[in-house]
Amino acid sequence: MRKLLLSALAVCFMLPAAAKKKEGKKESTAEQLPAVQLVTAEDSASYALGITMGAQVRDNLSKEGYSLDLFFKAFTSSMFFDDGQMSKDSADAFLNAYQAKLYERALDSLRSEQNDFLAANSKAEGVITTASGLQYRVVRMGEGPKPSIDDKVGVNYVGSLITGTVFDRQTDKENPVELKLSQVIKGWSEGLQLMPVGSKFTFYIPSDLAYGDRGAGNVVPPYATLIFEVELLYISDK
């Protein structure tokens, strides 16, 4: 929807050329359009912009299943200050409500996808599910002490989404990441306390033990299940 709105806004750059059309003239096909004279560089830039923006709008509208005919009828009406069947305010209100509905529908799809993954993963060989819903698999069990919630530890890790997209990585044993268990997401805090030093676990962290409905910037989407392969290298001296 956002791409659609941006593309529709971009078409406004074509207003000067479109405003020259005579009122009452029927829509023409590409073959019926009169030849244009491109005299100056500005003429060529204007024409090129129209071609580019027109193609973007056409492709985005078609991709999303919207009506090109209705779009351009409304666009032309608005361009000539005719509200048509909707005022500007009512159109804005409708689009805001429609976009909110699409966003909620997308979130429902994300939640369902994550839940399906966790349900299937819980049955995978070697995967253990805790009371909180955290899932983990032991890759290598160490023999050192386990950290407590007040400890600071040194770790290496690779973080990814269920799609396989890696969003964070630290694998340099010479410069591991140090962090306090009390200052990380719940899934990490719980999972690290299960690991003796020297261990390597894979965590499958549900969104309610990670970033929830907020996500994390442009990296982690809302309701994302996070997969971390974590190696616990040491517990820092208190």
Choosing from 47, 75, 162, 168, which is the catalytic residue? 168
157 assigned to active site: yes
Residue 83: C-alpha distances to residues 14, 16, 20, 74, 80 (Å) = 19, 19, 20, 8, 9
SS3 assignment, position 146: coil
Choosing from 157, 201, 203, 204, which is the catalytic residue? 157
Dig out the tokens for 170 from the structure. 């630290």
Choosing from 72, 136, 203, 228, which is the catalytic residue? 228
Choosing from 117, 211, 227, 235, which is the catalytic residue? 211
Helix axes 2-10, 88-121, angle to 10 degrees: 150
167 assigned to active site: yes
228 assigned to active site: yes
Cα dihedral 179, 180, 183, 189 in deg (nearest 10): 100
98 assigned to active site: no
**Among 90, 114, 80, residue whose Cα is nearest residue 222:** 114
Annotated active-site positions, please?
157, 167-168, 185, 211, 228
